[in-house]
């Protein structure tokens, strides 16, 4: 399921699929994406590259098309590499940088950036 909050510029995507379940937040206001993978008990945070990610309205349109057409092709593929976050002091500053929605999703979990 997907929830889009246009006032906060956030899309929240919930995938419920047993061990593959996850929650992802696209925070366009702060420019970050965070995915919490429940089976790994970890959170992955990625800085958005405006050229690589569709606009919030585009995500909503694609979700509607997928729901309507049951099949959608996306020409967008993105490969990323994550590294473990290891700074205890900077976490307070980073939560401010990432925003409340991502902090709420990832707080008290191992974070990979």
Contact 52, 33 (CB under 8 A): no
- pLDDT given at position 10: 92
- pLDDT given at position 112: 78
CA–CA dist 42, 40 (Å, integer): 5
CA–CA dist 50, 90 (Å, integer): 25
- State yes or no: pLDDT of 62 exceeds 80: no
pTM value surpassing 0.75: no
Q: Of 24, 25, 80, which is closest to residue 49 (Cα–Cα)?
A: 80
């Amino acid at each position: 399921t997907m929830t889009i909050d246009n006032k906060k510029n956030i899309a929240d995507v919930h995938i419920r699929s047993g061990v593959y379940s996850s929650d992802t937040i696209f925070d366009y206001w702060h420019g970050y994406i965070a995915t919490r993978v429940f089976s790994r008990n970890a959170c992955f945070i990625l800085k958005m590259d405006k050229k690589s990610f569709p606009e919030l309205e585009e995500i909503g349109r694609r979700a509607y098309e997928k729901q309507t057409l049951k099949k959608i092709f996306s020409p967008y593929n993105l490969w990323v590499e994550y590294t473990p976050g290891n700074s205890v002091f900077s976490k307070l500053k980073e939560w401010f940088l990432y925003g409340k929605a991502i902090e709420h999703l990832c707080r008290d979990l191992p974070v990979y950036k």
